[in-house]
Amino acid sequence: MAYKAKIRVTLRPSILDVQGKAAQHALANLGYTSVESVRIGKYMEVNIEEQSADEAGRVCTEICQKLLSNPVMEDFTFELEPVN
C-alpha cells in the first residue's frame, strides 16, 4: 500500500531563525506591525510504498533523521495518509 508522508521541518525554538527575522522586518516595513514573529521551515511530501502505516511511519522517521532534517538544529513532524 502507498502512503503520502506530509513532512514539516522547523528550526528548534532555541535556534535563531535569520530568515524569519528578515521576513518579520520586511513585513514591519510594509506596515504589518501586528506581526510579532516569523519562523520559516520546510514542507515536503514523500510517497512511501509499505505494507502498513506503522512501517511507512518507521521509514519516514528514518529518512527525516538521516537526510531531510538536521537533528542538531531542526525538529520534524509528519502525517501519513493512504494513497489510492
Q: Report the CATH number that the domain containing residue 66 is assigned in CATH.
A: 3.30.1280.10
**pLDDT score of 20:** 97
**DSSP conformation letters of 8-76:** EEEE-TTS--HHHHHHHHHHHHTT-TT-------EEEEEEEE-SSHHHHHHHHHHHIIIIIS-TTTEEE
Range of the domain at 43: 2-83
Closest CA to 5 of 74, 70, 71, 58: 58
The total number of structural domains in the chain stands at: 1
pTM: 0.89
What is the arithmetic mean of pLDDT over 19-37?
97
**pLDDT score of 84:** 80
* Pair 74, 10: CB distance under 8 Å: yes
Give the pLDDT confidence of 7-18 residue by residue, as tens digits. 999 999 999 999
